[in-house]
């Protein structure tokens, strides 16, 4: 089941596979291993893959692209998302002397050219500005987006970690809509539910993406009272659905009317299959608020 991000698309799968941990896989990062994860995702309805130029110290896109080149027929079966705008201090980028942001027209276009080469593809389905840049010139970003779309190098555009005001500024300069905002959101991190981010997404009929949808794993291992409280409620609800704790945490995001798209980054194919089944779980309103209250540490006002 795919979902259209906005009136103009594109369509993404209901869950997205996040590639930021490709180099950290204990079973290795060979093309064969990466292809096994791509195929597993596709077989279970996950057709969208989320990248950023900086992931894996500028190495994950190259690994993914090499794997994809071994099975080029897969390209038309999936959607490629990538992000740009952060410059890391890295041996791969010796000219970077300090971590900073760069959303200049020149850098955005250069970054996309690099991503196209690394991913070994002729197009990016969705390009995001990775972080808000205090020096972002909305007119200059718009020029870059229009040029990339005209050339067919990037088909759709969005942002990541932007506030409503920052989204509105950039959108005001574009002749086409931004289609998503990828933000941190989980049972552990609920700020987007209350700071206007998800309200704005609903208002303009835009589906947001959620990074770290399992709270970075803290709900599974942290001994703190808050995490234990959340764990207890998730486990109780999981029992009633014959599900697992992580499936319920993902289902909690899917239940939101903004049509949140979780980005899952596991290297474990069995867990990938398990999480893909989260979309079959529909939480009741009572269950949703039980989890909210456990996270907030109080009932609703």
Give a yes or no: residue 63 inside a domain.
Answer: yes
* Model confidence pLDDT, tens digit, residues 224-247: 999 999 999 999 999 999 999 999
Give a yes or no: residue 295 inside a domain.
Answer: no
Domain count, the chain: 1
Phi, psi angle pair for 261, to nearest 5° = -110, 105
Domain with 60, as residue range(s), is 2-179
Give a yes or no: residue 210 inside a domain.
Answer: no
Q: Among all chains, which residue has been given the structure tokens 């994809």?
A: 68
* Model confidence pLDDT, tens digit, residues 125-144: 999 999 999 999 999 999 99
Q: Say how far apart CA 189 and CA 93 lie, in whole Å.
A: 32
Give a yes or no: residue 55 inside a domain.
Answer: yes
Give a yes or no: residue 230 inside a domain.
Answer: no
Give a yes or no: residue 255 inside a domain.
Answer: no
Active site residues: 55
Pick the residue with more confidence: 217 or 67?
Answer: 67
CATH assignment of the domain containing 174? 3.20.20.100
Give a yes or no: residue 82 inside a domain.
Answer: yes
Tokens coding 23: 């180099």
Give a yes or no: residue 297 inside a domain.
Answer: no
The mean pLDDT of 8-31, rounded to a whole number, is 95
**274-277 contact pairs (CB < 8 A, 24+):** 274/244, 274/246, 274/247, 275/15, 275/246, 275/247, 275/250, 276/15, 276/41, 276/44, 276/45, 276/46, 277/44, 277/243, 277/247
Give 194's pLDDT tier (boundaries 50, 70, 90): very high
Q: Among all chains, which residue has been given the structure tokens 């972080």?
A: 131
Determine what percent of the chain is predicted with pLDDT higher than 70.
100
């Amino acid at each position: 089941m795919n979902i259209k991000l906005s009136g103009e698309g594109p369509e993404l799968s209901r869950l997205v596979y996040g590639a930021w941990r490709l180099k950290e896989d204990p079973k290795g990062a060979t093309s064969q291993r990466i292809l096994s994860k791509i195929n597993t995702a596709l077989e279970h309805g996950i057709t969208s893959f989320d990248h950023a130029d900086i992931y894996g110290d500028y190495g994950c896109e190259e690994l993914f692209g090499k794997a994809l080149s071994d099975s080029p027929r897969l390209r038309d079966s999936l959607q490629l998302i990538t992000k740009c705008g952060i410059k890391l201090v890295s041996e791969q980028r010796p000219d970077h002397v300090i971590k900073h942001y760069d959303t200049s027209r020149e850098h955005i276009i250069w970054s996309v050219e690099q991503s196209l080469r690394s991913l070994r593809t002729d197009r990016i389905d969705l390009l995001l500005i990775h972080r808000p840049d205090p020096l972002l010139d909305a007119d200059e970003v718009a020029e870059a987006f229009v040029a990339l779309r005209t050339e067919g190098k990037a088909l759709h555009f969005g942002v990541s970690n932007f506030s409503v005001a920052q989204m509105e500024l950039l959108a005001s300069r574009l002749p086409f809509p931004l289609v998503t905002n990828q933000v941190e959101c989980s049972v552990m991190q609920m700020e987007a539910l209350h700071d206007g981010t998800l309200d704005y997404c609903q208002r303009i009929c835009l589906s947001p993406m959620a990074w770290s949808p399992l709270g970075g794993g803290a709900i599974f291992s942290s001994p703190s009272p808050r995490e234990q409280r959340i764990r207890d409620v998730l486990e109780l609800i999981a029992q009633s659905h014959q599900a697992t704790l992580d499936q319920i945490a993902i289902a909690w995001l899917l239940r939101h009317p903004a049509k949140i798209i979780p980005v899952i980054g596991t290297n474990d194919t069995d867990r990938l299959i398990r999480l893909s089944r989260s979309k079959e779980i529909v939480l009741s309103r009572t269950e949703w608020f039980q989890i909210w209250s456990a996270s907030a540490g109080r009932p609703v006002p």
